[in-house]
Amino acid sequence: MFPRFAALMCLGLGLAVVRDPAPPLDNRLARTPPMGWNSWNHFGCDVSAQLIRETADAMIKGGMRDAGYQYLVIDDCWQVARDATGRLVADSVRFPGGMKPLADYVHSKGLKFGLYTDAGRQTCQRRPGTYGSEEIDARTFAEWGVDYVKEDWCDSEGLDAPTQYAKFRDALAKAGRPIVFSICEWGSNRPWEWGPRTGNLWRTTGDIGDRWASMIALLDLNAQYAMAAAPGAWNDPDMLEVGNGGMTDDEYRAHFSLWALMAAPLMAGNDVRTMPAATRDILLNKEVVAVDQDTLGMQGMLVQEPAPDLQVWAKPLSDGSRAVVLFNRSALQTVITASWRAIGFRGPARVRDLWAHADLGTFPARFMATVPAHGVVMVRVTPVTGG
């Protein structure tokens, strides 16, 4: 049996979403969920060439590039107008010299460069949108050396999302440069149905806020569409808030673990130039990043809810093991038990703690651990004989 479905059957999960029979977009990009940094969550409209250069330098110095964070994406507000030929014009005060030299700088650091636009008439911050200019914008981005485009959905009243996003997909394909296509219509037009044939990732939710309640609301929404995810085509529950100050470190560990378990894009959204050690330890946890980046490309799912607010989530991995998150949504520290049966295993299995970076031993039928309030224990479970 096809390994992805075999793994799902093992998890005992039904088909939550029937995939569109149309073949997925094959631009050969984002075979694992995109990783990088985006300006919006921390900086909003306060973007500049200087910020991007400093961020690129910090991503290298701080080890983010080597941990897999590759795309450096400028979100809304870089653009101010169109010129006489219809090309987008960058803010000349904030981006003196325009985007090309900045893309060159980012590339010279071994990173990739991303920009934001909007499929409607104006961006969410009322900058020129791409509607009606799909071809020229795709060409312009390709000429500037753009590797990733996020396309938003503001000022799109009366437009059909699958049609508009397909237009830009086709324009990007014609522009002759490999460009990851990030669809951002907030899950408002069932993008899990047409996203796989249109883009490399699609938002399933509204915007994240740097708050526990927001993070878990997006988790629960994004979890519903797990069956749509596959290599090259990912559900996007929005960018990371890790390090932005609105949640505790336990909450940020939960946020990061669950995004990795869901094979979500890992786009850091903090100020990486001034990152405290606690934030660094979360974003640079290579064992958790490896779960996100696993080549099987399956989105993990909720598999067990032993009590209200106590959950077990599992993600099949390419080597036959499972990533498992014991998730305590309650405000009290408590013990959570994951049974091997719930994650699709029968015999004894080895357990490695991905936050403590420690092998915990072999367990015959289940694993239990004390989990902090609003926190997780994340392990990798490998069957000892068969599975």
Q: Kindly list the catalytic residues.
A: 152, 207
Distance in Å, CB of 202 to ligand GLA, minimum? 12
Asked if residue 122 binds ligand GLA (CB under 6 A), the reply is: no
69 binding ligand GLA? (CB under 6 A): no
Q: CB under 6 A: which stretch of 107-115, 120-128, 215-223, 329-337 binds ligand GLA? A: 120-128
Angle between helices 49-61 and 99-108 (to 10 degrees): 10
Closest to ligand GLA by CB, 76 vs 292, is: 76
Listed ranges 122-130, 175-183, 261-269, 289-297: which one lies at the site for ligand GLA (CB under 6 A): 122-130
Q: Which is nearer to ligand GLA, 152 or 271 (CB)?
A: 152
Q: Between 79 and 279, whose beta carbon lies closer to ligand GLA?
A: 79
Scan residues 189-248 and list those touching ligand GLA (CB under 6 A): 207
Dihedral sign from CA coordinates of 283, 288, 291, 295: positive
Instruction: Determine if 40 is a binding residue for ligand GLA (CB under 6 A).
Output: yes
155 binds ligand GLA (CB under 6 A): no
184 binds ligand GLA (CB under 6 A): yes
Calpha distance 40→249 (Å, rounded) = 21
Residue 160 CB partners (closer than 8 Å, separation 6+): none
Buried b (16+ CB within 10 A) or exposed e, 351-362: bbbbbeeeeeee
C-alpha angle with apex 280: 279 to 283, nearest 5 degrees?
85
Does residue 75 interact with ligand GLA by CB under 6 A? Answer: yes
Sort strands 180-183 and 201-203 into parallel, antiparallel or unpaired.
parallel
Q: Does 294 bind ligand GLA (CB under 6 A)?
A: no
Give dist(CA 136, CA 130) in Å, integer: 9
Question: Considering only 48-56, 61-69, 116-124, 363-371, which stretch makes contact with ligand GLA by CB under 6 A?
Answer: 116-124
Q: CA 293 to CA 263: how far, in whole Å?
A: 7
Q: How far apart are CA 76 and CA 264, in angstroms?
A: 21
User: Exactly one of 88, 111, 124, 268 binds ligand GLA (CB under 6 A); which one?
Assistant: 124
- One of 125, 224, 293, 330 touching ligand GLA (CB under 6 A): 125
Task: Tell me the residue nearest to ligand GLA as measured from the CB.
Answer: 124
Give the binding range for ligand GLA (CB under 6 A) out of 118-126, 174-182, 229-237, 320-328.
118-126
CB of 238 to ligand GLA, least distance (A): 7
164 CB-near residues (< 8 Å, 6+ apart) = 119, 120, 131, 156
Amino acid letter for position 152: D
Of 76, 147, 241, 251, which lies in the binding site for ligand GLA, with binding defined by CB under 6 A? 76
CB of 231 to ligand GLA, least distance (A): 24
Closer to ligand GLA by Cβ: residue 139 or 203:
203
Three-class secondary structure of residue 303 per DSSP = strand
**Residue 358 in tokens:** 């420690």
Q: Residue 320 corresponds to which tokens in the numbers above?
A: 């036959």
Contact residues for ligand GLA, defined by CB under 6 A:
40, 75-76, 116, 123-125, 152, 184, 186, 207
